[in-house]
Structure 1
Amino acid sequence: MEILNHLKDMFRHMYWADAQVWNAVMSTPDAERNNKLRTQLFQIHTAQYAFGQVWLKKPLEIPDLDKFRSLKEIAEWASKSQDLLEQFFKNVGEEDLDQPVELPWAHRLEEVFGKKPSASTLAETMIQVTSHSSHHRGQVCTSIRESGGEPPLIDFIAWVWFGKPRAQWPAIDSK
């Protein structure tokens, strides 16, 4: 199997896991009033959206969290962000994976650590998006449990065992 197909599977899992988490969030008592949860969810999709914008060579325009009046509005934006990533995948090929990707926020690392970041490839940034999202989904699952909800099973291998289902966003639409 080509590397690109593995990466596409990682993204399909990410979409599915995100949707599973959102479904759990929407059925969690007091989720709407949990600012920590709101911030964590926004962080996941801000990263996905930002990388998608970079890969598609679009202007980096990240909305403010305060723009969203409800979790439902954040979930709708998150779902559309995944559509943006799907648009990117329609035109990427195996030969693109080793191409360097310049991240507009990389200079912040130099400011913090005093060292210019090494170049990163498209494949490396794609792995970053899925691993970063996984990390923050874990935080969200902890917040769901702390808020009285039940976090979903979202492991990659569980997704494989379930037959690699497509993402379903039942809490916001019929996607």
Structure 2
Amino acid sequence: MTNYPVEMYQYHRWANEKIIGRIKELPASVLNEEVSGSSYPTLAHALNHIYTVDKMWYLVLTGTEMGEALQECMPLNALQLQSVDEYAALYELLAEQYREWFQQVGDLEKSITLNNPYAGVRETRLSEIVLQVANHGSYHRGNVTTMLRQLGYASTMTDYIFYLYQQPALSSVE
């Protein structure tokens, strides 16, 4: 039986690797090249945002109150790494932390009280937060794709179906 929140996180990780891999293929200057009229001024800013939010949600999933997690991650918004390899390493380290958390968490349907400073208090399942992480990443990888096009480069396919094609095929039930 497929654990869909875990599956979606694995897709998120794969898609991040794909988009970072594509940026690695381009001239190093692309990372910090200004993109006018975009959601972010540079690809580095967009990659940094995805990472920062992933880190914030990781802290929430591991027991930190959301307000505290936001405060802890705010300085990461100003962080700008100088190479795509640095982003790849940062993303990989966080993905490993998520992997370890998945192994330890047990019940992803467990509810926690989420006190979101922007939206208020609600009971939220851990699985819903994991799906938020994947959905947020998809949205901003779309920004990165648009930015790459604005800079004159093709992006790469990071659709969920392409992730599925990378996985071993399920055998049919006889």
**Aligning the two structures, in what range does the TM-score lie when normalised by the shorter sequence?**
0.7 to 0.9
Paired residue type of 1:7 = P
1:122, distance to aligned residue in structure 2 (A) = 0.8
Partner residue in 1 for 2:172:
none
Q: Is the 8 A contact 1:15 1:82 kept in 2?
A: yes
Partner residue in 1 for 2:151:
147
- Cα deviation, 1:80-134, whole Å, max 9, x if unaligned, reads 11111111111122xx223223445x0232xxxxxx3432111111111111111
**C-alpha distance in 2 between matches for 1:53 and 1:24:** 28
**C-alpha distance in 1 between matches for 2:53 and 2:167:** 27
Q: Is the 8 A contact 2:58 2:98 kept in 1?
A: yes
**C-alpha distance in 2 between matches for 1:19 and 1:74:** 10
Higher fraction of strand? 2
My pick for the range that moved more, 67-76 or 142-151, is: 67-76
1:136, distance to aligned residue in structure 2 (A) = 0.7
Distance 1:41 1:102, change over 3 A: farther
Partner residue in 2 for 1:128:
132
1:43, distance to aligned residue in structure 2 (A) = 1.2
Partner residue in 2 for 1:64:
76
Identity of aligned residues (%): 24
My pick for the range that moved more, 122-131 or 49-58, is: 49-58
Distance 1:163 1:56, change over 3 A: same
Residues 1:107 and 2:120 are matched in the alignment: no
Q: Is the 8 A contact 1:28 1:147 kept in 2?
A: no
Q: Is the 8 A contact 1:102 1:119 kept in 2?
A: yes
Residues 1:98 and 2:102 are matched in the alignment: no
Partner residue in 1 for 2:43:
37
Partner residue in 2 for 1:88:
101
Distance 1:158 1:52, change over 3 A: same
Residues 1:52 and 2:68 are matched in the alignment: no
Unaligned runs of 5+ in 2: 34-40, 169-174
1:135, distance to aligned residue in structure 2 (A) = 0.6
**Over the residues paired in the alignment, what is the CA RMSD in angstroms?**
2.1
1:56, distance to aligned residue in structure 2 (A) = 1.8
- Cα deviation, 1:124-160, whole Å, max 9, x if unaligned, reads 1111111111111111111112222221111111111
**C-alpha distance in 1 between matches for 2:88 and 2:5:** 24
Indicate the structure whose relative CO is greater, using CA pairs within 8 Å and at least 6 residues apart: 1
Q: How many residues align?
A: 153
Q: Secondary structure at the match of 1:119?
A: strand
Partner residue in 2 for 1:156:
160
**C-alpha distance in 2 between matches for 1:138 and 1:148:** 15
Q: Secondary structure at the match of 2:154?
A: coil
Paired residue type of 2:132 = Q
